[in-house]
Structure 1
Amino acid sequence: MDSEKSENPEIPLEIPPYGGNPKRRRDTSNYSVEDFAREIKETADKLVSDGANRGDIKLISSALKELRYCFKVFNNYKGRPKVTIFGSARTKPQEKLYKVAVDFGREIVKAGYMVITGAASGIMEAGHEGAEREMSIGVNIQLPFEQFANPIILGDQKLMTMKYFFTRKLMFVKETDAVVLFPGGFGTHDEGFEVLTLIQTGKSHMFPVVCLDEPGGTYWKLWDNFIREELLAKKMISPADLSLYSVTDDVNEAVREIQTFYRVYHSMRYVRGELVLRLKQSISPSTLEDIRAEYADICPSGNFELTKALPAEANEPALADLPRLKFKFDRRAHGRLRQLINHINRA
């Protein structure tokens, strides 16, 4: 999980250089760290030769510094699974929803996960309260109001404060193994829809998204109705896209949803045009045949094959012993891909 995320925050690896013609792909699979660092330096030099203004260069410089520092902090916790919690900064400690967030933070830590939040008050503080300081990570944002680090994470080496929302969002998604959305305002919806968009379009690794409410709450139920009655009914999304998230008002069910996603499935990686699903245990021949029959629609050529680690995966020795399922994914139907992962976990 972490090895894939750390190297490839956006899963499709074949990208055109410098915003060039997307038909002209380049293979960076053999690039070293030094090769990529050289490209960063060359790009910086081109900004100057292109005549970029001071504001543009300052933005890139600040963003790069923020990301470098965050990579350094998160690298200390590489290999430890993490859950990102989003929700309102205005939720008060006396509200039922606050207690639900505390309970979820506590229970997900028992399941072996660290908790990432925006580090502010409300739901973010509640998640950290349940997780406690040692298992909490904070990615704060500089704002003139509402966004001060909560007392659980304040002063901790795992607290990062960002200037830009886009760098902050990148860290939330890149470093997480699951996202849990609590009721919130514009920011919560922004973060939730961005996460779903990144998964739906294949610009992020696959992970569970859970919408968690207080017992009997209607916030996410009404939201889910809107998704179904407006987006789905008007064919703005596909039926399988509903598999990219789940809605519950039960903390234990939310925890189970995350644990079940990683019951057999481990991580994914594209290797020379094929999608490789790394598994914690192999699947049976009968399950393989079921997959070939049921998910042929997302494999336009070739077939689903069980395999060992491919030579191109040699840079991830920790995953070398995991069995693989590889196939030529159409890179479109990510809702169906999620259903395939669910099928593997059930089998």
Structure 2
Amino acid sequence: MSSHVKPTKIPQERDFTGGMIHSQSCAYIGSTGERDLDHKLLALSKEISGGEDNCLLAEMLISAVRTSRGAVTEGDFKMMNRSLKEMRIANEVFYPYRNCRKISVFGSARTDPEEPEYKAAVEFSDKMREAGFMTITGAGPGIMAAGNEGAGREDSFGLNINLPFEASANAFIAGDEKLVDFNFFFTRKLSFVKESDAVAAFPGGFGTMDEIFETLTLIQTGKAAIYPLVLIDAKGGKYWKFWQQFVVEHLSRLKLISDEDFSLYKVTDDVDEAVEEVVRFYSNFHSYRYCGDRLVIRMQRQLTEEKMKQLAKDFSDIIKSGTFEQSGPLPAEGDEPELDKLARLVFRHRRRNFGRLRQLIDSINEEGAS
């Protein structure tokens, strides 16, 4: 096995919403309904945090107090507490690896090691590790075990869901410090989406469908930043081809999705093609962030003048007003100084039809960067 995944030279932006959660203000943090208690909580938050997060901490404390005193059952209170605790633990596990690219691998827990889908998942995760990506799986058997096996323990994460009928974590991640146990599917899925730079799905059941449609929904609606989604069959397999047929004949034919939504994912039975799909996405593109009504796309290299003219011609439909411009970091990006050296493509985005935004990113990654 070759060397382990190294942090990227340019730090990774871990805001999976693309800038929607960066801004904060002390103008309004809510109230417990008791002014004296509000002042005490704000003072306590300042004392505890010692930084700029004191307003967020105060708001969280106020929410906790209101929850404990509100029309909430004990069961709901326990659920809220457990959810927050699970998110905190997951963040603590991922934090040391925040500058490493990661890919989530989904698929059936029922796939046996001798099946071609299992072998394809092992090969894929191994090649993604060689390409500089750590692997995140659901920590179970089947395709999940294959993902951890291919990536190796040191380059794997496991997000285990506690179920009464499933075995414990697979042998390739069991006992590792990067294994996280979840009681709730929604907190687990949040970690999958939030910590991933790409998603790969092999054949699976309801859980796999749930995970890929969740990913597609979040990206299609702009609630999560765009990243690659590859749907991989073993060589000659037809699982995803038949899935694609359903999407074409029903969702697309009935105009329940847009033609551009097909750009949000790729179906293939070629492992190398799947790896290339993910790697190419980050060949020039780095990340993006909304700053007010402007979308700032950060790139490894500037675009040529010819390329800028091509973008203006081909993608005018996604611009709300004005045109594409290249610039340095905007003032609103001042909280991310580690990204200052990246080139920027800035424009006013319509914030709809994110399949077209994916096509723009694909065009940025084509030849034409100086």
Which residue of the partner structure matches residue 307 of structure 1?
327
Is it true that 1:12 corresponds to 2:32 in the alignment? no
TM superposition shift of 1:234: 0.7
The answer to whether the 8 A contact 1:215-1:250 is kept is yes
Is it true that 1:159 corresponds to 2:179 in the alignment? yes
Which residue of the partner structure matches residue 350 of structure 2?
330
**Cα distance in 1 for residues equivalent to 2:256 and 2:264:** 15
The answer to whether the 8 A contact 2:29-2:58 is kept is no
Which residue of the partner structure matches residue 292 of structure 2?
272
**Cα distance in 1 for residues equivalent to 2:166 and 2:11:** 31
Which residue of the partner structure matches residue 27 of structure 1?
none
Q: What whole-Å deviation, never above 9, does each CA across 1:235-271 have from its counterpart, x for those lacking one?
A: 0000000000001111111110000000010001010
Which residue of the partner structure matches residue 115 of structure 2?
95
TM superposition shift of 1:147: 4.6
5+ unaligned residues in a row in structure 1: which ranges?
A: 20-30
**Cα distance in 2 for residues equivalent to 1:59 and 1:15:** 26
Which residue of the partner structure matches residue 177 of structure 1?
197
Q: What whole-Å deviation, never above 9, does each CA across 1:270-324 have from its counterpart, x for those lacking one?
A: 1012111000111011111111111111112121111101111111121110010
**Cα distance in 2 for residues equivalent to 1:189 and 1:45:** 38
Range with bigger deviation, 46-55 or 318-327: 46-55
Residue 60 of structure 1 is aligned with which of 80, 96, 116?
Answer: 80
Which residue of the partner structure matches residue 210 of structure 2?
190
- Cα 1:15–1:321 change in 2 (3 A) is closer
Residue 249 of structure 2 is aligned with which of 229, 239, 252?
Answer: 229
Is it true that 1:137 corresponds to 2:150 in the alignment? no
Which residue of the partner structure matches residue 293 of structure 1?
313
**Cα distance in 1 for residues equivalent to 2:29 and 2:256:** 31
Which residue of the partner structure matches residue 22 of structure 1?
none
Which residue of the partner structure matches residue 45 of structure 2?
none
The answer to whether the 8 A contact 2:123-2:150 is kept is yes
How many percent of aligned residue pairs carry the same amino acid? Answer: 47
The answer to whether the 8 A contact 1:96-1:214 is kept is yes
Q: What whole-Å deviation, never above 9, does each CA across 1:134-158 have from its counterpart, x for those lacking one?
A: 1110000000112520001000000
**Cα distance in 2 for residues equivalent to 1:261 and 1:249:** 19
Residues 9-158 of structure 1 correspond to what in structure 2 (within 5 A)?
9=17, 11-13=19-21, 32-158=52-178
SS in 1 for 2:365: helix
5+ unaligned residues in a row in structure 2: which ranges?
A: 1-9, 31-50
SS in 2 for 1:120: coil
Which residue of the partner structure matches residue 188 of structure 2?
168
**Cα distance in 1 for residues equivalent to 2:276 and 2:54:** 41
The answer to whether the 8 A contact 1:92-1:122 is kept is yes
The answer to whether the 8 A contact 1:3-1:316 is kept is no
Residues 237-248 of structure 1 correspond to what in structure 2 (within 5 A)?
237-248=257-268
TM superposition shift of 1:45: 1.3
Q: Looking at CA atoms only, which structure, 1 or 2, has the larger radius of gyration? A: 2
Q: Give the partner amino acid of 2:98.
A: K
TM superposition shift of 1:4: 3.3
**Cα distance in 1 for residues equivalent to 2:17 and 2:243:** 28
SS in 2 for 1:76: helix
**Cα distance in 1 for residues equivalent to 2:12 and 2:132:** 18
**Cα distance in 1 for residues equivalent to 2:11 and 2:118:** 30
The answer to whether the 8 A contact 2:200-2:231 is kept is yes
Q: What whole-Å deviation, never above 9, does each CA across 1:194-238 have from its counterpart, x for those lacking one?
A: 000000001111100000000000000111111111111110000
- Cα 1:341–1:249 change in 2 (3 A) is same
Is it true that 1:214 corresponds to 2:234 in the alignment? yes
**Cα distance in 1 for residues equivalent to 2:19 and 2:139:** 27
TM superposition shift of 1:10: 6.5
TM superposition shift of 1:35: 1.9
Range with bigger deviation, 141-150 or 276-285: 141-150
Q: Give the partner amino acid of 1:167.
A: T
**Cα distance in 2 for residues equivalent to 1:249 and 1:33:** 46
- Cα 1:286–1:236 change in 2 (3 A) is same
Q: What whole-Å deviation, never above 9, does each CA across 1:132-187 have from its counterpart, x for those lacking one?
A: 11111000000011252000100000000000000000000100000001000000
**Cα distance in 2 for residues equivalent to 1:8 and 1:175:** 8
TM-score (normalizing by structure 2) = 0.87
Which residue of the partner structure matches residue 24 of structure 1?
none
SS in 2 for 1:45: helix
- Cα 1:294–1:10 change in 2 (3 A) is closer
Q: Give the partner amino acid of 2:260.
A: A
